[in-house]
Amino acid sequence: MRIDAEKCIGCERCTYYCPVEAIHVAEREDNPKKKRSWIDEDECVECGVCFRANVCKPQAIYQQELKWPRVIRKSFSDPMVEFKETGVPGRGTEEMKTNEITGRFKKGSWGMAVEVGRPAVGARLKDLELIAMALAERGVKFEPRNPVTFLFEDVKSGKLKPELRNEKVLSAIIEFEVKPEQLKPVLQVIKEMSDKVESVFSVDLISHPEEEEKGPALKIVKEMGFPVYPNGKVNLGLGRVLNK
Ligand code: SF4
Ligand code: SF4
């Protein structure tokens, strides 16, 4: 996103809307008594919030043409944009919350996700790559219908296309499946990564309720020292069942 310096009157209204604080205010070069705003393009994740908020009276905020690899910022940060390869808006995935519709994660295995980034901080994709490569070393299978999987140069190693490493997004979700015997090593890797990456991340784990009654996943997660926030979600028949 950009701000037309000629049109901007420096009212600062847009600055309050940016979730990563990429909009700054400066003195005008042509008149130091007046202000203008500018966008730090390295920090901007192209979420479109400042534009959609419609707070700029002189309409100084505009969307420049986004080319590869920058366009990836918008795909992962603007909920109004559909991810081309998956056909899903937002972060481009149906993800595990709709598992009873999609049936991605079968009985006998667990679905996991690492959500890298959050509003106010965002994430560099190089951090996502570090986590993905460490997970790949433990033999996890990345979800083929997740947009992050399309960013890999090599899906087996979790290595990203190199031009993407410095791109910044609001957040992106690595999704994968683990077999019961993989859970401990995977959690260990995730723990190690918390010291190695700068971006914040959280971890999701999904299991079938009847398996959970036997207690394995939660028990292992707690043993590994992770704080647990159990969460149930039921879709009320509004989704088209793909899991037949
Ligand atoms: S597009 Fe989003 S990240 Fe970029 S300046 Fe606007 S609000 Fe901030
Ligand atoms: S809202 Fe518009 S005029 Fe006001 S500071 Fe932002 S870009 Fe400039």
Angle at 154 between CA 153 and CA 160, to 5 degrees: 45
Domains and CATH numbers, the chain: 2-62 (3.30.70.20), 85-223 (3.30.70)
DSSP 88: E
Q: Which two tokens stand for residue 17?
A: 């809307």
Q: How confident is the model at residue 2 (pLDDT cuts 50, 70, 90)?
A: very high
**50 CB under 6 A from ligand 1?**
yes
HSE value, Cβ hemisphere, 13 Å, CA-based, for 59: 0
**Whose C-alpha lies nearest to ligand 2, atom 1?**
56
The alpha carbon of 207 and the centre of ligand 1 are apart by a number of angstroms equal to 36
pTM for the whole thing?
0.88
Is 35's pLDDT higher than 80? yes
Task: Give the C-alpha separation, 218 to 205, whole Å.
Answer: 9
Say whether 6 sits in a helix, a strand or coil. coil
229: left (phi over 0), alpha (psi -120 to 50) or beta: beta
Written as one string, the DSSP assignment of 161-188 is: PGGGTT-EES-EEEEEEE-GGGHHHHHH
Instruction: Report the DSSP beta bridge partners of residue 82.
Output: 89
Task: Give the C-alpha separation, 183 to 118, whole Å.
Answer: 25
Is 14's pLDDT higher than 60? yes
pLDDT, residue 1, reads 98
Closest C-alpha among 219, 215, 174 to residue 193:
174
Other beta carbons within 10 angstroms of residue 75's beta carbon come to: 24
- Mutation probe of ligand 1 site: the residue of 8, 14, 16, 23 with most atoms within 8 A of C-beta: 23
Of 23-32, 35-44, 65-74, the one with minimum mean pLDDT is: 23-32
- Mutation probe of ligand 2 site: the residue of 61, 62, 63 with most atoms within 8 A of C-beta: 61
Looking up tokens 């056909």 gives 87
Which amino acid type is present at position 106?
Answer: K
**Helix or strand holding residue 83 (H, E):** strand 82-83
**45 CB under 6 A from ligand 1?**
yes
Task: Give the C-alpha separation, 16 to 6, whole Å.
Answer: 21
Q: Report how far apart, in Å, the C-alpha atoms of 163 and of each of 136, 148, 151, 153, 159 are.
A: 20, 14, 10, 10, 11
Ligand 2 pocket, CB under 6 A: 3, 8-14, 37, 55-56, 58, 60-61
The alpha carbon of 136 and the centre of ligand 2 are apart by a number of angstroms equal to 45
The alpha carbon of 25 and the centre of ligand 1 are apart by a number of angstroms equal to 14
Atom of ligand 1 nearest to the CA of 77: 2
**170 CB under 6 A from ligand 1?**
no
Looking up tokens 């905020």 gives 61
Better-predicted residue by pLDDT, 211 or 189:
189
Other beta carbons within 10 angstroms of residue 240's beta carbon come to: 6
For residue range 106-125, list pLDDT tens digits in order. 777 888 999 999 888 899 99
Is 84's pLDDT higher than 90? no
**Whose C-alpha lies nearest to ligand 2, atom 4?**
11
Task: Give the C-alpha separation, 204 to 23, whole Å.
Answer: 32
